[in-house]
Structure 1
Amino acid sequence: MFKPIPLNLPPYSSKITKKLGKLFIFDELRKKELLLTPEEWVRQHWISYLHQHKNYPKTLMQIEGGLKLNSLQKRSDLLIYNSEGQKILLAEFKAPTVKITEKTFHQIANYNSIHKIPLLLVSNGIEHYYCTINFDKNSFEFLAELPNYNSALNL
């Protein structure tokens, strides 16, 4: 059973319950309890952080959006849209014990080859990476900090 650990994100008041020896966390977006896994712990912290500290509306967040990649069905960890329904941020989360490697960046880049989203976020809850994608120049740039929602709209 996963025991929640402190992350390199502001704490938030998660709703955790124990049933039949397993921990569950309440997902504010899907309005249901989910098995508390290390990756879900990271995702729920990010949802809270994005909403509380970066002003991303919860109503524009989508968890595990499906996509087809080389005829395989995949799921992105978190997609965020603008009010016109255009995707503006794609996030990939890993468990805190999983090192962020080049493989992780290849995974999100492959997903983004389908989505074409200008802002990417990769995190294991301890290390965080943000980058913008310029599709016209076929280039990317790492950012020191994740832009807030209003700034992300202009990328």
Structure 2
Amino acid sequence: MIKIEYPPYQPKIKKEDNREIIFDEVRKKWVILTPEEWVRQNFLQYLVQVKKYPASLIAVEKEIKLGDLKKRFDIVVYDAASKPWMIAECKEMNVELNKQVLDQVLRYNITMQVPYLVITNGSYCMAFQCINTELKELSELPVKI
């Protein structure tokens, strides 16, 4: 597992209709602040500030089709040619990173076909490289090309 060292981050948070909302700098909109959203927003900052992934190549909560089902992935990072490069699935901090979470991101990859998969619960993440039909666990997130 990879321990995440988050950069300093001052999120914009406000109350609206008795709910806390947070400004998503990637989507450029206010979203409801849930425990999973907190992880997603901090992980996005990690990708942009620490790993130097260009925010312009990141998509958040986009819909994909898995057969007849419509699902939403958490984060997809694209390469310079606008091809999906990495999928990240975010879970709230009390969710264990286990086979069930990995299976979820693997199902998304049936459609997306990316070379890198990441699962995170905010405290830790696991990263994998997809080589043919094999998964190779990585000791750190891939360097963005």
> Structures share a fold, TM > 0.5?
yes
Say how many residue pairs are matched: 142
On the 8 A contact 1:62/1:78 being kept in 2, the answer is yes
Instruction: State yes or no: 1:32 paired with 2:20.
Output: no
Offset, 1:15: 0.9
Q: Secondary structure at the match of 1:73?
A: strand
1:14 deviation in Å?
A: 0.9
Answer yes or no: is 1:144 the counterpart of 2:142: no
Contact 1:118 1:133 in 2 (8 A): yes
8 Å CA contact 1:78–1:90 kept in 2: the answer is yes
Aligned to 1:133: 130
What residue in structure 1 maps to residue 9 of structure 2?
12
- Relative to the length of structure 1, the TM-score reads 0.86
Query: Following superposition of structure 1 onto structure 2, how do residues 113-128 of structure 1 map, counting pairs within 5 Å?
Result: 113-128=110-125
Q: Equivalences for 1:3-152 in 2 at 5 Å?
A: 8-10=4-6, 11-135=8-132, 138-150=133-145
Higher relative contact order (CA 8 A, sep 6+): 2
- CA drift of 1:8 comes to 4.7
- Once superposed, what is the RMSD of the aligned Cα atoms? 1.5
Calculate the TM-score normalised by the size of structure 2.
0.92
Q: Percent sequence identity over matched residues? A: 36
SS of alignment partner, residue 45 of structure 2: helix
- C-alpha distance in structure 2 between counterparts of 1:99 and 1:87, whole Å: 26
SS for the counterpart of 1:50 is helix
1:9, 1:125 within 8 Å by CA — same for their partners in 2?
Answer: no
Q: Quote the Cα distance in structure 2 between the aligned partners of 1:80 and 1:144.
A: 19
